[in-house]
Amino acid sequence: MGKLELLQCLTGHRGRAWGAGWHPKGNVLATCGEDKTIRIWAEDASQRWVAKTVLSDGHSRTIRDVAWSPCGQYLASASFDATVAIWDKKSGEFECNATLEGHENEVKSVSWSKSGSLLATCSRDKSVWVWEVAQEDEYECAAVLNTHTQDVKKVEWHPHEDILASASYDNTIKLYKEDLADSDWSSFDTLVSHESTVWSISFDGSGKRLASCSDDQTVKIWQEYKPGNEFGVSCPDNTPVWKCVCTLSGYHSRSVYDISWCKQSGLLATACGDDMVRIFKEVEGSSPHEPTFEMVGSKHAHSQDVNTVEWNPTVVGLLVTTSDDGDVKLWKYEPEE
C-alpha cells in the first residue's frame, strides 16, 4: 500500500467545509463552506499554505462549491442562496462582478467547460443550467435541462469536448450535448446502475471514462463506446453509449461523497462518510472494457464526513480534502516502492 501523508491542516472556516477548487496552475486553492465565505490559499515564502483572502460578501447562505475557470482569471461559487457568483481580480482585489440567478433552490455544483466559454450549474430544484459567457462579466442562459427527477448533486464537463455530465439523487447520471444544427441542448444518455444517490462524478484524462460514487457505498467506472467499436457494443442512432465496466464495492462503509480522477497519474481518490480517504489504481494489464482496480492507499482523514477530495492539476500526488469538521487538509500520496 502507498502512503497518504498529511502535509498541512488549513483552519479558518467556521462550521462545515464544503468545496475546494485548485487553480489550473495548482499554486492557489479556493475553499468554501457553511460560514458563507470563500478562502483563497497560497504558499508563503516558507512554503506553508496561508489564507491570502477571505471573500464574505457574495452569498447569504452556505457556499457549496467553487471552481476556477480554465484561464484561471475567474472563480465561480455556488450557494444554497440559489445563486452563482463569478469573482475576478481585475481591480487588483477579488470582487464579485456577476451573479447568476435563475435556480429556484440551493445550487449544489458549478463547473467550467474546457474552453471556458460555458458554465454549468445544478440545483436542488432538479435542473441543470448551461450558461454562455457572452462578453466580459455577462452570462446568458443557453439551456435549462429538466431531465432529472430529483435534486442534482454534481455537474462536470468532459475534459476535451463540450459534453456535460450530471449526477443526481434520482440514482442516475445524465450526459448532455448541444445539437449544433439548432443550438438545442439535450440529454443523449442516462447511466443507470447505482442503487441510491449519485453524489459525484469525475472524468479521466482521456474523457473516455467516467467514475461515479454513491450513497450505495460503491464506485463505478463507465466506459464510452463509439459507433463501430471493436467490442461490438451497439450504438443506436449512431450516438456513443456509456456502459458500466467495473464496480468497486466492499471498500467503503458509508456514503461516498466525492471522487477525483487524477489526470496525470490515473489514480482515483474518494471522500467518504466514514471519515476516510481512499486511493485506487487500475491493475496493470487489466482489460480496458473489464478493468479491475485495487485500493493502494487509505487514511482516516477527518473526525467527521469527508465532503470533497481533489487532486492538484500540476503537482502529482498532492490532494485536498474538506470535511464537516471544518478543516481543509492537504495530503501527499506516495506510491509503494
| pTM of this structure | 0.97
d(CA 53, CA 36): 14
User: What pLDDT digit, counting tens, does each position of 23-42 carry?
Assistant: 999 999 999 999 999 999 99
| CATH code for the structural domain at 3-334 | 2.130.10.10
Domain ranges across the chain = 3-334
C-beta contacts of 239-244 below 8 A and 24+ residues apart: 239/188, 239/189, 240/189, 241/189, 242/175, 242/189, 242/191, 242/210, 244/191, 244/193, 244/220
* Minimum mean pLDDT range among 13-17, 150-154, 202-206, 237-241: 237-241
Percent of the residues in the chain that have a pLDDT greater than 90, as a whole number: 93
d(CA 43, CA 49): 4
296-307 mean pLDDT: 98
The CA–CA distances, whole Å, from 103 to 130, 145, 170, 211, 233 equal 12, 11, 18, 27, 38
pLDDT of residue 126: 98
pLDDT at 264 over 80: yes
pLDDT of residue 275: 98
Cell numbers that stand for 58 in this block: 457574495
Higher pLDDT, 256 or 288: 256
